[in-house]
């Protein structure tokens, strides 16, 4: 029996997700944007683990999913940073606003 309700965990995950989202969409430094995305993934993981314990059908599967998500997040971070390095070599900047070659 737990004294902390499941909704408290979910609310914490929500707050962290919102922080990550806001950071991902406002920060100018591409590295920070990537970190913010990691934060959002973490918030999602909290949800997975919370439901694994307090869901309608408590199960270990939620934790396994969280593990897979972490593996994918790690891979994503590695590739994202590699792309960042390649971009930086070409453009000499990590300011995300200057990476607007999508326009033309």
Partner 1 sequence: MTLTGEFFAFMALALVAIIGGVLLLNLNKVVHMVVALIFTFVSIAGIYVLLSAEFIAAVQVLIYSGAITIIMLFAIMLTKPYDDESSESKGGRLRNVLLFLGVVGFAFAVYIGIYNFPIDQTPSDLHVNNTLEIGKALYSRFIIPFELVSVLLLAALVGAIILAKREDKEADKE
Partner 2 sequence: MENAWLIPLFPLLSFLILLLIGKRLKEASAYVGILFTLASLVFSILVLFERFSEPTFLKKFDWLTIGDLHLTAGFEVNQLNALMLFIVSLVSFLVHTYSKGYMHGDERMPVFYAYLGLFTFAMLGLVISPNLLQTYIFWELVGVGSFLLIGFYFYKEEAKAAAKKAFIMTRIGDVGLLIGMILLFWQTKSFEYSEIFQAVEAGAVSNTMLTLTAILIFIGAVGKSGQFPLHTWLPDAMEGPTPVSALIHAATMVAAGVYLVAALFPLFTASPTALLTVATVGAVTAIFAASIGLVQTDIKRVLAYSTVSQLGYMMLALGSAGYVAGVFHLMTHAFFKALLFLAAGSVIHAVHTQNIEEMGGLWKKLKLTGPLFLIGTLAISGVPGLSGFFSKDEILVAAWEGGHPVLFLFALIAAFMTAFYMFRLFFMVFTGESRGQQKNVHESPSVMTMPMVVLGVLAVIAGYVNTPWFGSFLGDWLVDGNEALGHGHIEGPIWIMIAATVVSLAGIYLAWLIYGKRSIARDWLSGQGGMLYTVLYNKYYIDEFYQLTVIAFTKGFSYFLRFIDTFIVEGIVKGVSGIVQGLGAMGSKMQTGRAQTYGTVAFVSLAVLAVIFALTGGYLR
Judged by CB under 8 A, does residue 102 bind partner 1?
A: no
- The CB-of-101 to partner 2 minimum distance in angstroms stands at 7
Q: Which of partner 1, partner 2, none is residue 104 near (CB under 5 to 8 Å by kind)?
A: partner 2
Q: Quick check: 36 and 76 in contact, CB under 8 A?
A: no
Site string for partner 2, 14-53 (x = CB under 8 A): -------x--xxx------x--------------------
Judged by CB under 8 A, does residue 33 bind partner 1?
A: no
Q: Quick check: 66 and 45 in contact, CB under 8 A?
A: yes
Site string for partner 1, 3-32 (x = CB under 8 A): xxxxxxxxxx-xxx-xxxxxx-xxxxx-xx
> What secondary structure letter does DSSP report for 96?
G
Residues of the shown chain interacting with partner 2 in the complex, contacts defined by CB under 8 A: 21, 24-26, 33, 96-97, 99-104
């Amino acid at each position: 029996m737990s004294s902390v309700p499941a909704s408290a965990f979910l609310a914490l995950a929500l707050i962290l997700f919102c922080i990550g989202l806001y950071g991902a969409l406002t920060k100018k430094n591409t590295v920070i944007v990537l970190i913010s995305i990691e934060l959002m993934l973490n918030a999602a993981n909290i949800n997975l683990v919370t439901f694994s314990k307090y869901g309608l059908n408590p199960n270990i599967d939620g934790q396994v999913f969280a593990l897979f998500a972490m593996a994918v997040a790690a891979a994503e971070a590695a590739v994202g940073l590699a792309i960042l390095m390649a971009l930086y070599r070409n453009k000499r900047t990590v300011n995300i606003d200057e990476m607007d070659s999508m326009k033309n």
